[in-house]
Structure 1
Amino acid sequence: MSNHLRTQSLVFGIPWPELNEGLFYSDVVPHSDSELTLIDFYSRKYKNSAPLQGWLQRIQNGQISVDGRVVKDPNTILSGDSVLVYHRLPWKEPDVPHLLEVLYEDDDMVALNKPSGLQVLPGGLFQQRTVLTQLCWSVKKQNSTLNSQETHPVPVHRLGRGTSGILVCAKTKVAKTRLAAYFADGTSRVGATSNRKAERSGTRKISKIYRALVTGILVDDKVIINQPIGIVRYPGVAKGLYVASPSGKPALSKVEVLERDEKQNCTLVQVEIESGRPHQIRIHLSFIGHPLLEGTRGLRTLYQETAAITCMLINLFFRIPPQMR
């Protein structure tokens, strides 16, 4: 068991700057592209990012360097193995919460109460305004204050941007490996055996339980959904969309009715997922004809994007055995 245990509530977070730091994209010029001009390289390879005129403007703005030197001439001839770096200019990211509450902390892990609206890892419009950034800033502040080496917590799983709840972060490499294996355990069991066998195959180290407000009235008190989830091509979405698909990967969700509201035509449910497929709760609840209730309707719809409340159970399995440190 860890020597330094924190169970008292602690809130931390630094207000977001007006603009982020932008992004840097690196490329190494292959020998097959040597003798190409700078504008030809970018306008051909990244034509979906910007038209020719757009890349001309970026080059002339000094946003691209070649081997560490800013180059503003679009007709510069490239050499094989040259390193190109494109600097996407800083932008203002959408407003999101910045405060995080520490629910549990020891030498190996920290559990945070992630608010709705805050993304866990960088992606899309949110490159700076994430949980990971606040963790990095917190560590940097501690190091400057204590003038000592501190751990670097990193999330070991994800919660949807619109979902609130417990986010588990590892503070050491060993803890990250072990905790990630615990989270993957349920998914592997679902994929390797039948649902009934999975329930008898031993105690899972981590349970993932959510609460959600869904449209319509569920008739059955308990529903088990084992519809596979896969990806289909969709116009405008490069990686495709995750949907209920017979050819997808195995997924298992257990739904239990907590309260029915016939007047508002909605049901408060608890969902335990034994696999971690992307958008699993959204997809499975929609699959049975009861999609998540969006927007606000009464006091029980608590969050802007979804009505999901994450309630991950933290127990002794989270603690890394001393011999594994």
Structure 2
Amino acid sequence: MSGPVRRATVPPEAAGRRFDQTLAQMFPEYSRSRLAAWIRDGHARLDGAAVAPRHVVRGGEAVELTPRLAAEVAMAPQPIALDIRYEDADLLVLAKPAGLVVHPGAGNPAGTLQNALLHHDPALAQVPRAGIVHRLDKDTSGLMVVAKSLRAHAALAAMLAAREIHRQYEAVVVGTLVAGGTVDAPLGRHPVDRLRRAVRDGDAGKPAVTHYRVRERYRAHTLLQCNLESGRTHQIRVHLAHIGHPLVGDPLYGGGLRLPRGAAPALVEALKGFRRQALHAERLAFAHPVDGRALAFAAERPADLRALIEALRADAASAAEAR
């Protein structure tokens, strides 16, 4: 099955890059390996001609992409509960719990959000990745938007690339920050550990910008609001660790357990027992991809994050009273 033909123009800044790399930036909703296969099969053309994936573009060429969707989803639907906050014919918004993997991968062949979406609506088998246009890490909770139609999928992917989908996160970090700020540091794969991302300069990194501001300060931790200009893998986790304030509980980038002096047993238990990154996607706002309506959603803190913040507040209040 072929999807609708997608037409675009190679941006001038892509001059000198390979066609497959350029196509991956222009159509981020598709994987690079899938795009390369479509190029080789003649389903992605440059100025009307079939070229090799490594063909170097000059900028300004016309691109014609005909997605092949016959085997986009080859997995079984599974009856996994979904917390759906909004749904219409073109999209749905859901609150993902911590612990749920978004789509199958190495070590997670089933039991994912993608399996759950296929059970919720079997027609999503005809949409790339069952409509998933962005992701949250397994242990990050919060809001996601899912496309239910091809037209919505294409529009949402373009809106993500143009930074027109506004995502706001809440994070608890190690250490006390005096004020908010911005981390502008390119991200790429870690040079040694394939599971990690890292700040990388040059061609190894892609632009990434995270804005953060202080909401509450505790004795040895800080509650932050984070807003993204880009959506790189592990972006908030890497950026905050990069400035010396990793997320509480982060197994990949965390700085280990940190307890304020004389911490109450309740706080010690809360910090030791929090075994995921303390990150929650709390707000999501965008224009409806079909009718243009302004949509905005908020997701309350999950119970574990709420309990952690309450323990930090209680410890800070107790220490203030003792002074």
TM-score, length-scaled by structure 1: 0.54
* 1:180 pairs with 2:162: no
How is 1:34-183 mapped onto 2 (pairs within 5 angstroms)? 98-140=80-122, 153-183=130-160
SS in 2 for 1:160: coil
* 1:246 Cα deviation after fit: 2.5
SS in 2 for 1:311: strand
CA distance in 1, matches of 2:272, 2:134: 24
* 1:319 Cα deviation after fit: 4.0
Cα gap change, 1:304/1:111 in structure 2, threshold over 3 Å: closer, same or farther?
farther
SS in 1 for 2:285: coil
CA distance in 1, matches of 2:272, 2:175: 14
Extract unaligned runs of 5+ from structure 1. Answer: 1-96, 144-148, 187-204
* 1:138 Cα deviation after fit: 2.0
CA distance in 1, matches of 2:143, 2:226: 15
- Which residue, 174, 184, 188 being the options, matches 1:230? 188
SS in 2 for 1:181: helix
* 1:314 pairs with 2:285: yes
Higher relative contact order (CA 8 A, sep 6+): 1
CA distance in 1, matches of 2:207, 2:236: 14
Q: Which residue of 2 aligns with 1:214?
A: 173
* Counterpart amino acid of residue 183 in structure 1: L
* Counterpart amino acid of residue 166 in structure 1: L
SS in 2 for 1:313: strand
Give me the CA root mean square deviation: 2.8
Q: Which residue of 2 aligns with 1:261?
A: 218
Q: Structure 1, residues 184-208: CA drift from partner, whole Å, max 9, x if none? A: 112xxxxxxxxxxxxxxxxxx2111
Q: Structure 1, residues 215-250: CA drift from partner, whole Å, max 9, x if none? A: 000022x1111011122421xx4x474201232221
CA distance in 1, matches of 2:161, 2:214: 26
Cα gap change, 1:240/1:102 in structure 2, threshold over 3 Å: closer, same or farther?
closer
Task: Note if contact 1:100-1:114 (Cα within 8 Å) is conserved in structure 2.
Answer: yes
SS in 2 for 1:259: strand
Task: Note if contact 2:176-2:221 (Cα within 8 Å) is conserved in structure 1.
Answer: yes
* Counterpart amino acid of residue 168 in structure 1: V
CA distance in 2, matches of 1:300, 1:311: 21
Cα gap change, 1:240/1:213 in structure 2, threshold over 3 Å: closer, same or farther?
closer
* Counterpart amino acid of residue 318 in structure 1: H
* Counterpart amino acid of residue 247 in structure 2: L
CA distance in 2, matches of 1:282, 1:162: 12
Task: Note if contact 1:162-1:304 (Cα within 8 Å) is conserved in structure 2.
Answer: no
CA distance in 1, matches of 2:148, 2:207: 31
SS in 2 for 1:230: strand
Following TM superposition, where does structure 1 have runs of at least 4 consecutive aligned residues deviating by more than 3 angstroms?
149-153, 295-304
* 1:305 Cα deviation after fit: 1.5
Task: Note if contact 1:102-1:111 (Cα within 8 Å) is conserved in structure 2.
Answer: yes
- State the number of aligned residues: 194
Cα gap change, 1:301/1:159 in structure 2, threshold over 3 Å: closer, same or farther?
farther
* Counterpart amino acid of residue 102 in structure 1: I
* 1:309 Cα deviation after fit: 0.6
Task: Note if contact 2:214-2:225 (Cα within 8 Å) is conserved in structure 1.
Answer: yes
Cα gap change, 1:244/1:150 in structure 2, threshold over 3 Å: closer, same or farther?
closer
CA distance in 2, matches of 1:241, 1:305: 15
SS in 2 for 1:314: strand
* 1:275 pairs with 2:235: no
More helix by share: 2
